């Protein structure tokens, strides 16, 4: 993933703010349901995946041995990212809702507010490097000394 300016990264939290603003519309209105559902389904996961994207791209999909599908790797990675976005978002929504229920402060606006805050924090975080776990020194380790 490319390094993007902060203004572009803050589009996801802005979608959360739009979803919070849409709660002022009448109940069961499509203009209220659409932004809230889209943000809950993809907002937090998109911000979280942006952080871990380079580290996840280290292990790319490998195509079939027959090589009949030239775009297998690209398509497989896109499907993986899409599913991760959806599942991370839904997991974050369930965790936040459960925590608010546990402290008896549950409301739809509180869930949206906390998820928007978490998304904003994730949007401001730096990306994980793609070299996690690799040694920084190029020299081989020396054998242990005897004696």
Question: Cα angle vertex 17, ends 105, 112, to 5°?
Answer: 25
The C-alpha atoms of residue 105 and residue 117 are separated, in whole angstroms, by 16
- In residues, how long is the chain? 147
- Return the half-sphere exposure (C-beta side, CA atoms, 13 A cut-off) of residue 134: 10
Query: Given this model, what pLDDT does residue 132 score?
Result: 55
Flag residues of the chain having pLDDT under 50: 1, 135
Measured distance between the N- and C-terminal CA atoms of the chain, rounded to whole angstroms: 50
The C-alpha atoms of residue 44 and residue 118 are separated, in whole angstroms, by 7
Tokens of 100: 């608010």
Query: Given this model, what pLDDT does residue 73 score?
Result: 74
Query: Given this model, what pLDDT does residue 127 score?
Result: 82
The C-alpha atoms of residue 83 and residue 64 are separated, in whole angstroms, by 21
Query: Given this model, what pLDDT does residue 90 score?
Result: 95
Query: Given this model, what pLDDT does residue 74 score?
Result: 75
Domain ranges for the chain, please list them: 6-63+70-124
**Each residue's pLDDT tens digit, 25-63:** 998 899 999 999 999 999 999 999 888 877 777 776 666
């Amino acid at each position: 993933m490319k390094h993007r300016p902060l203004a572009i990264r803050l589009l996801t939290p802005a979608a959360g703010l739009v979803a919070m603003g849409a709660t002022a519309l009448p109940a069961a209105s499509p203009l209220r349901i659409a932004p809230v559902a889209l943000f809950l389904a993809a907002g937090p996961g998109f911000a979280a995946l942006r952080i871990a994207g380079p580290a996840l791209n280290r292990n790319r999909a490998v195509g079939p041995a027959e090589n009949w599908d030239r775009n297998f790797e690209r398509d497989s990675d896109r499907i993986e990212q899409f599913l991760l976005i959806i599942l991370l978002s839904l997991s974050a929504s369930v965790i936040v809702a459960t925590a608010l229920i546990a402290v008896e402060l549950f409301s739809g606006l509180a869930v949206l507010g906390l998820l928007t805050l978490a998304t904003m924090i994730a949007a401001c975080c730096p990306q994980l490097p793609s070299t996690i776990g690799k040694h920084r020194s190029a020299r081989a380790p020396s054998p242990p000394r005897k004696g």
